[in-house]
Amino acid sequence: MQQITCILLLLWLPVSLAITTQNLNNSTIALPGCPTKCGNLTVQYPFGVGLDAGCSIGPWFDINCNTSFNPPKPFLSKTNGEIINISDTKIRTKSNGIASRCYNPTGGLWNHTNVSSFNLCGYSFLGEQGSYTFHPSDVSDQNFVPRIVETVPMVIDWVIGNQTCAETQKSSQFACQENSTCVDSETGLGGYSCSCANGYEGNPYLRSGEG
């Protein structure tokens, strides 16, 4: 079935709109023949399930779907972070970079096996703003690290490439398709994302007839 990339929403035709939206949900998610789910995560292009499977826009957008878990768990191929969700410009993953050091009163590294009632360790981790609140019990909680991994997500901004819209829009590698607009990254590091033009809905990274 041929689908345009971003479907114009005709609010005065509710029956047609409902049918179009259903087709969008089923058809304009991934490239033909590519999985759209890994466990509980819905994967939309430019991301793709599989390593070097041709389902994503590039290696940094590959998702490793680990089927040894039930249900399967999705991991970013380049960072090995377990993905919680993916939005239009951000990825939330479980933290996999918690650093710790334990010291004795003289400043030397402490043998952690000798610490029973008080944790003389310092921790450093990246996490989403507002997702962690310090509690006094944290200093003696031996399960602090696994708790942070499970409850404090990392937030990663994602963009296409490292060029601006103006620099890349005439290139054959330009990712934004018909009925979409290009949005420059606000990080100052280059890169861009695509969104459907006003009044349209769908996947702005897929060409007509794909998905």
For residue 186, the number of C-alpha atoms closer than 13 Å in the C-beta half-sphere is 3
Residue count of the chain, please give it: 211
- Tell me: pLDDT of 26 over 50: no
Residue spans of alpha helices (H) in 2-106? 14-27
Distances in whole angstroms, Cα of residue 75 to Cα of each of 13, 49, 161: 40, 10, 21
When pLDDT is averaged across residues 95-106 and rounded to a whole number, the result is: 65
> Would you say residue 108 lies in a domain?
yes
pLDDT of residue 146: 77
> Would you say residue 119 lies in a domain?
yes
- Tell me: pLDDT of 192 over 60: yes
The DSSP secondary structure of 93-131, one letter per residue, reads: EE----EEEEB-TTSSBP-GGG-SSS--EEEE----TTS
What confidence category does residue 153 fall into, taking pLDDT thresholds of 50, 70 and 90?
confident
pLDDT of residue 90: 92
> Would you say residue 123 lies in a domain?
yes
- Tell me: pLDDT of 4 over 70: no
> Would you say residue 171 lies in a domain?
no
Tally of domains in the chain: 1
Domain that holds residue 103: 99-151
> Would you say residue 130 lies in a domain?
yes
Predicted TM-score of the model (pTM) = 0.71
- Tell me: pLDDT of 17 over 50: no
pLDDT of residue 142: 74
> Would you say residue 120 lies in a domain?
yes
> Would you say residue 12 lies in a domain?
no
pLDDT of residue 40: 96
